[in-house]
Structure 1
Amino acid sequence: MNTYSLRHKLILSLIAIFSATVGTFAQTGPVSPAHLGFIYPISSNGKDAAKYTNRFSFHALAGLSKAETGAAIAGISNVIRDSATGFQLAGISNHTGNTYKSVQVAGILNHTIHKGSGVQFAGIANYAGSFQGLQSAGFINVATKDATGLQLAGFMNHAGDSAIQIGGFINTAKNANVQIAGFINVASSANTQIAGFINVAKKVKHVQIGFINIADSADVQLGIVNINKRGEKQISASIDESATTIAAFKTGGRYLYGILGVGYNWKNSDALYALQAGIGAHIPLLSHFRLNVEATHTTLTKFKKGYYGRSTLGVFPAYRFGNRIEVFAGPTINYVFYSEGLGAGLNNNFMWSRIRDNNNFQGVFIGATGGVQVKLF
């Protein structure tokens, strides 16, 4: 029999043993100070191994028991049909039918049907009905009801309710306190969401931080695109002193908003296309008058060699006509960096400038921007 066939049959037999024995035994039974063996039923407890509570277990391949109160160590798998307190170490998997307390370490999977508390470490996945403590997995952590401690996963964390989730790619929860993910966080309600790309929730109590933030309601959204049913969505058109025109989509809450725009420069002899991103803040002053403070970065390109970048901080007094149309204009302070002479003639009145090797230029100047924006709904 080849190695793959033997391993396949062994895994199937472990699953069958676990499925057949979990939850079917009474809480009373014999106690053994030590359970030693090769694989069920070749062990010191023999065919009755599933009835024993052990203070210590060691199996070359896999062990079966009712409960473990100390250390359980197996080369492949520990199958514990009721509860485990202490330490479980297995080369592939640990399976607990009811509850476990303390530490589980497995090369691939830790699996607790009902409730776990303590620590789970697995190379691929941790699974528990509910969990208190720490889950750490190379791929996925799952707590179907709630996770009141911390979940860490290289790919995904999932929980009904969660205190803290930290995932390399995605976190999902019904209710979450803190979610931190490299790509996406999804929750029905959350206190704080921080993602490298997108946050999605119905209700956010504190803050969403990401490139895209989506919520029915949120106290603070800090991103480039913010979709908030109770917030503002505006389309704006602006022009600055260098004749760069930008059409931008501005979205956010009552105070903070994100800016994403595209445009064109009319002054340069060669065609220059613009891309702009940034964040802004509304400062209310009167019923129809406010200050808009914006920090943006604008890139100009002709899709060939050379680079032009402009970082801008602007303060724009804005007056609203009616409920939708707003005009704004104000001063800006700008830091410009360009190479290969791209956009060299756009600004000349620099407060400070410097030319580095390879014709790389940087400088600071005072400018101005004005425009109009329309509230969508």
Structure 2
Amino acid sequence: MNLTSKNISKAASVFMMVCLFIFSNAHIAKAQEPVSNVHIGFCYPLSTNGSRAGEYTNNASFHVLAGLSKEEKAFSYAGISNVVRDKVSGFQFAGISNHVKNAMKGFQYAGIYNDVDTIDGFQFAGLLNRSATVKGFQFAGLSNIVRNDIDGFQFAGFSNIDGGNFKGFQFAGFVNKVRDVDGFQFAGFVNVAKKVRGLQFAGFINIADSSDHSLALVNIIKNGEKSIGVTIDETQTTVLSFRSGGRVLYGIIGVGGNWKTSTSYMAFEGGFGAHLPLSNSFRINAELTSLYLEDWKKGFYYKNTFRVLPSIRITPRIELFGGPSLNFSSTDTEDGKKLIENDFWNDYSGDEKRQLFIGYTAGLQIGF
């Protein structure tokens, strides 16, 4: 076949017409997408948008029970549930649940459950939030479940379960589970993460691959420190303790006894500490602890202590430490009142004696 300029011109004309046809149809289809300023109804399809409600973009929607739409631009309300096939902007409220296939930008409230792909703004659910990505504030009475990353504030009465990274402030009444943390993580019982940059606090245990600032009674940090030690103080209370944490902060939990008086007492200790390294073999440990003595009868003895403990490593794993302490004690037992005779302040309230005094702590610990 011989190609002439005339043939080439005809082919180009046909190509241009096809492109114009496709573009025109797409433009017409887009122009025909239904839009409603106000969508009012009882439940789908009993509404002003009828059976095509799922194709509509609405500026405002009001439904007695449940509403269906493609997109909401300003305000949407349903007594039970909102279902949106694309995205939502503005304010969305549902008595029970909101379901948004793609993005939600603004404020979203559900009495029980929110299910959204991407959140940019504020999300509140009485029970559960589930999403892929969050940027902003997320609150759930029970649990937040996020598949990917979070940037902002996350609060749950029981648990935050996140598959990606977290940046910001995270609080859960019981457990937080996330990949990497950059910020603050608080849980009433346990935090689980990989890499933590910031502060990690739990009522009982933190678990992480790396975390320099980890505060809990027990900290299982893969790249951190763990040790078993024995301490004795000015009341002759001996405690076998477990210290665990990161490069800077650590937790203390221990059990022991006091046999100085006529009655034998079990001792229970818990607290937090911080390392101040001065050289490879010498550092200062500052600790805040609470000690409770129990003889399983009537009465109590507890002591709160702040102690500064110079520490020297005599081998890579064995550490000797000892130093002064400032103590506040309270007891209503006769044995407890005899433990400390020299104090610089004391006070009586009925049978209870309270004291402030200077003491000491010394001990040895073995790292592993």
TM range (shorter): 0.7 to 0.9
Instruction: Select 1:97's aligned residue among 57, 72, 85.
Output: 85
Q: Which residue of 2 aligns with 1:188?
A: 179
Q: CA deviation at 1:68?
A: 3.7
1:195 to 1:262, Cα distance in 2 relative to 1, 3 A: same
| Amino acid in the other structure paired with 2:342 | N
1:69 to 1:330, Cα distance in 2 relative to 1, 3 A: same
| Amino acid in the other structure paired with 1:346 | L
Matched, 1:83 2:71: yes
Aligned mates of 1:33, 1:289 — CA distance in 2: 72
Matched, 1:339 2:339: no
Q: CA deviation at 1:259?
A: 0.5
Q: Is the CA contact (8 Å cut-off) linking 1:121 and 1:137 kept in structure 2?
A: yes
Q: CA deviation at 1:44?
A: 4.8
Matched, 1:129 2:120: no
Unaligned stretches of 5+ residues in structure 2: 1-28
1:247 to 1:75, Cα distance in 2 relative to 1, 3 A: same
User: Normalization by structure 1: what TM-score?
Assistant: 0.84
Q: CA deviation at 1:70?
A: 2.0
For residues 352-363 of structure 1, the aligned pairs below 5 Å read 352-357=345-350, 359-363=351-355
Q: CA deviation at 1:120?
A: 0.9
Deviation readout 1:8-58 (Å, 9 max, x if unpaired): xxxxxxxxxxxxxxxxxx75344455555555555555xxx243xxxxxxx
1:38 to 1:165, Cα distance in 2 relative to 1, 3 A: closer
Instruction: Select 2:136's aligned residue among 139, 149, 152.
Output: 149
- The RMSD of aligned alpha carbons is 1.7
Q: Which has the larger radius of gyration?
A: 2
Q: Is the CA contact (8 Å cut-off) linking 1:339 and 1:361 kept in structure 2?
A: yes
Instruction: Select 1:273's aligned residue among 252, 266, 290.
Output: 266
Aligned residues between the structures = 333
Q: Which residue of 2 aligns with 1:285?
A: 278
| Amino acid in the other structure paired with 2:121 | G
Aligned mates of 1:170, 1:248 — CA distance in 2: 30
Q: Which residue of 1 aligns with 2:22?
A: none
Q: CA deviation at 1:270?
A: 1.3
Matched, 1:170 2:159: yes
Unaligned stretches of 5+ residues in structure 1: 1-25, 52-63
Aligned mates of 1:255, 1:37 — CA distance in 2: 60
Aligned mates of 1:314, 1:267 — CA distance in 2: 22
For residues 213-292 of structure 1, the aligned pairs below 5 Å read 213-292=206-285
Q: Which residue of 2 aligns with 1:4?
A: none
Q: Is the CA contact (8 Å cut-off) linking 2:141 and 2:158 kept in structure 1?
A: yes
| Amino acid in the other structure paired with 1:366 | I
Q: Which runs of 4+ in 1 moved over 4 A?
A: 30-45
What secondary structure does 1:350 align onto? coil
Aligned mates of 1:254, 1:34 — CA distance in 2: 59
Q: Which residue of 2 aligns with 1:208?
A: 200
1:67 to 1:360, Cα distance in 2 relative to 1, 3 A: same
Q: CA deviation at 1:223?
A: 2.0
| Amino acid in the other structure paired with 1:66 | E
Deviation readout 1:159-192 (Å, 9 max, x if unpaired): 1211221111111211111311111111011112
Q: Which residue of 2 aligns with 1:60?
A: none
| Amino acid in the other structure paired with 1:73 | F
Aligned mates of 2:186, 2:68 — CA distance in 1: 38
Matched, 1:368 2:348: no
Q: Is the CA contact (8 Å cut-off) linking 1:306 and 1:342 kept in structure 2?
A: no
What secondary structure does 1:304 align onto? coil
Q: Is the CA contact (8 Å cut-off) linking 1:91 and 1:107 kept in structure 2?
A: yes
What secondary structure does 2:316 align onto? coil
1:334 to 1:65, Cα distance in 2 relative to 1, 3 A: same
Q: Which residue of 1 aligns with 2:145?
A: 158
Deviation readout 1:86-134 (Å, 9 max, x if unpaired): 2111111000011111111011000111221111101101110111111
Aligned mates of 1:146, 1:183 — CA distance in 2: 22
Q: Which residue of 1 aligns with 2:58?
A: 69
Aligned mates of 2:234, 2:280 — CA distance in 1: 29
